[in-house]
């Protein structure tokens, strides 16, 4: 080729395409983002549930401490009724209403044993919960400290889940 024709052609070097942009990301990044968001939502929900259970447990134990702070001589049917109400309130929060709401007497004690009482409600210090609130005075052999310990253990077992 002659030099005049070379100047007329104006050839340029090979042009590479532009680098791909960062947006939109590849499908794999979308999947990863969705999985991370789901994991974050699950973690937040679990943490919130754990916090609420812990707060509920502390509130119930504080209420129990308030009820049992009185001396053993001062254990009244009213105190037993309040402890039973405290247990029923927690049971209604943790178990289906159909299973708990209508229970009274021996059935209520059996439920408490099945849900963490280890037979100490039906055959131990928890027996007073079935009849104590309805008596004018409590029997002399009521061990209010043992009842308090039993109720505390039951609350802890039913708020650990």
pLDDT at residue 111 in the model:
94
Domain of residue 65 covers: 45-158
75 assigned to some structural domain: yes
pLDDT tens by residue, 45-59 = 999 989 988 898 899
- The more confidently predicted of residues 101 and 40 is 40
Q: For residue 80, is it within any domain?
A: yes
Distance of CA 21 to the CA centre of its chain: 46
Residues 54 and 51: their CA atoms lie apart, in Å, by 5
Q: Which token pair is 67?
A: 């009820």
pLDDT at 72 over 60: no
When divided into structural domains, the chain yields a total of: 1
Whether 28 is covered by a domain: the verdict is no
Q: Which two tokens stand for residue 141?
A: 């052999």
Sign of CA dihedral 112, 116, 120, 126: negative
If DSSP states are collapsed to H, E and C, what string results for 129-155?
HHHHHHCCCCCCCCCHHHHHHHHHHHH
pLDDT at 5: 65
3 state DSSP class of 151: helix
Place of tokens 């052999």: 141
> Has this prediction a pTM greater than 0.75?
no
**What is the model's pLDDT at position 32?**
97
* Arithmetic mean of pLDDT, 118-131: 90
Q: Does residue 1 surpass a pLDDT of 70? A: no
- Mean pLDDT (the chain) is 87
Report how far apart, in Å, the C-alpha atoms of 29 and of each of 20, 37, 100 are.
Answer: 15, 12, 48
> Is 9 domain-assigned?
no
In a domain, 29, yes or no: no
Give the pLDDT score at 135.
87
Using a pLDDT cut of 90, give the percent of the chain over it.
42
Concatenate the DSSP letters of all residues of 35-56 into one string: HHHHHHHHHHHHHHHHHHHHHH
Q: Residue holding tokens 């209403």? A: 97
Residue 36 inside a domain? The answer is no
Task: Report yes or no on 27 lying in a domain.
Answer: no
Q: What pLDDT, on a 0 to 100 scale, did the predictor assign at position 76? A: 83
pLDDT confidence of 138, banded at 50, 70, 90? Answer: confident
| Residue appearing with tokens 């929060």 | 93
Question: Is residue 92 a contact partner of residue 112, using CB atoms and an 8 Å limit?
Answer: no
pLDDT at 10 over 80: no
Whether 5 maps to a domain, the answer reads no
SS3 per residue for 74-100:
HCCHHHHHHHHHHHHHHHHHHCCHHHH
């Amino acid at each position: 080729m002659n030099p005049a024709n070379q100047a007329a052609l104006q050839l340029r070097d090979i042009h590479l395409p532009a680098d791909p942009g960062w947006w939109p990301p590849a499908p794999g990044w979308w999947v990863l983002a969705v999985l991370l968001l789901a994991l974050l939502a699950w973690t937040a929900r679990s943490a919130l549930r754990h916090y609420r259970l812990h707060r509920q447990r502390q509130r119930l134990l504080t209420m129990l401490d308030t009820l049992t702070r009185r001396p053993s001589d001062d254990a009244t049917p009213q105190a037993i009724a309040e402890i039973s109400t405290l247990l029923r309130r927690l049971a209604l929060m943790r178990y289906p209403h159909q299973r708990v709401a209508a229970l009274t007497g021996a059935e209520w004690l059996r439920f408490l044993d099945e849900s963490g009482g280890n037979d100490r409600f039906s055959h131990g210090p928890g027996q007073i919960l079935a009849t104590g609130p309805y008596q004018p005075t409590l029997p002399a052999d009521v061990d209010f400290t043992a009842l308090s310990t039993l109720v505390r253990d039951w609350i802890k077992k039913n708020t650990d889940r």
